[in-house]
Amino acid sequence: MGQGAGGRDPGATRRRGGRTIVDGRGVFLAGTRQYIDAMSNRPPAPAPVASEHIDLEPRNVSFSWEDTPLHWLPGEPFAGHTINVLHLLLPAGERWFVHVYKQALPLITDERLRADVIGFIGQEAMHAAAHDDVLPHLKRLGLDPTPYTAQVDWMFEKLLGDRTLPPGRARRWWLMERVAMIAAIEHYTAFLGDWVLNAKELDRRGADPMMLDLLRWHGAEEVEHRSVAFDLFMHLDGSYRRRVRTWASAFAALLFLWQRGARFFVENDPQRPGAKASFGQFLRAGRKGVLPSAGAMVRSIPTYLSRTYHPSQEGSTAQAVAYLASSPGANGGVRP
């Protein structure tokens, strides 16, 4: 009963030329089904933490910079300048996010995810505008960021911008590459958002309240929408090879741009002529708690590359929402 031609069970194994064969199923690639699943290019989507989901909406914010000094973190000019790189990278980067996601919107078939992406777009547009407003203030203080921001604009608009590709497969490939890259970048913006919400050393060092509020408002919204980019990538593509490849590209680009930006700020600081930036300064600042530690950044790599990873497993939506409810900048400049 149930045997195929020649009296063999279709699922039985036999040997041929040193290979294990499964009749009716082709070459037996591995000894177990678990191994096949593990090597799949598209692993099953990890389950999100449902309690961490929240409806997203952009918040109107207001920040005034006239009283914020160039060295807004007393006694830690290197750390302050390293964080200042956000003002150089984010306006162009987040406008690029918005541009790419507007192209991806018509491909979304899940209505809740569509609403999340629309909320994400609104929040990212506000982030870009808020950080953009800091740049004229830096220029008034004697530090003109234009030479660096011109390079960043070129990268996002030209290198990562739209390409003249024929409709169909090639155009979709380039869109999926960028969607995957945004998911990798958002892993790090959420990491930084969680860090700044919990960086009590910034308070102890007397960080400028306006700058700290900008960073924590932005960080809280990054934690709030931390799952959207990953969910969109898994919905539209989900290729594990693409996820790894674009993570490597994004991580290398962020490291390059951040160290270049920190060096630009330090070496052009009008109040510290001749100052130099170094990796040792970064390590020391991380140990002090005024920057993320190198160890925490390294540990974030296997987290993102885990096949069971979902962004909702990291950070706290409740903490983010609580900060947003008390943020002066997000509440008309008045603490409720």
Model pLDDT, residue 53 = 85
* pLDDT of residue 117 exceeding 70: yes
Name which residue leads in pLDDT, 106 or 26.
106
Model pLDDT, residue 32 = 36
* pLDDT of residue 202 exceeding 70: yes
Q: Tell me the C-alpha to C-alpha distance, in Å, between residue 31 and each of 17, 19, 26.
A: 17, 12, 14
How is residue 9 written in tokens?
């069970």
Out of 23-32, 105-114, 180-189, 319-328, which region has the weakest mean confidence (pLDDT)?
23-32
Instruction: State the residue for tokens 């009749």.
Output: 23
Q: Tell me the C-alpha to C-alpha distance, in Å, between residue 103 and each of 128, 172, 176, 236.
A: 19, 10, 10, 12
Q: Cα–Cα–Cα angle for 188, 194, 200, nearest 5°?
A: 130
Closest by Cα among 84, 75, 69 to 214: 84
How is residue 72 written in tokens?
């807004």
pLDDT band per the 50, 70, 90 thresholds, residue 109: very high
Percentage of the chain beyond pLDDT 70 is 84
Model pLDDT, residue 335 = 52
pLDDT mean across residues, the chain: 87
pLDDT band per the 50, 70, 90 thresholds, residue 51: low
Out of 151-155, 177-181, 280-284, which region has the weakest mean confidence (pLDDT)?
151-155
pLDDT (tens digit per residue) in 260-307: 999 999 999 999 999 999 999 999 999 999 999 999 999 999 999 999
* pLDDT of residue 3 exceeding 70: no
* pLDDT of residue 11 exceeding 80: no
pLDDT (tens digit per residue) in 206-225: 999 999 999 999 999 999 99
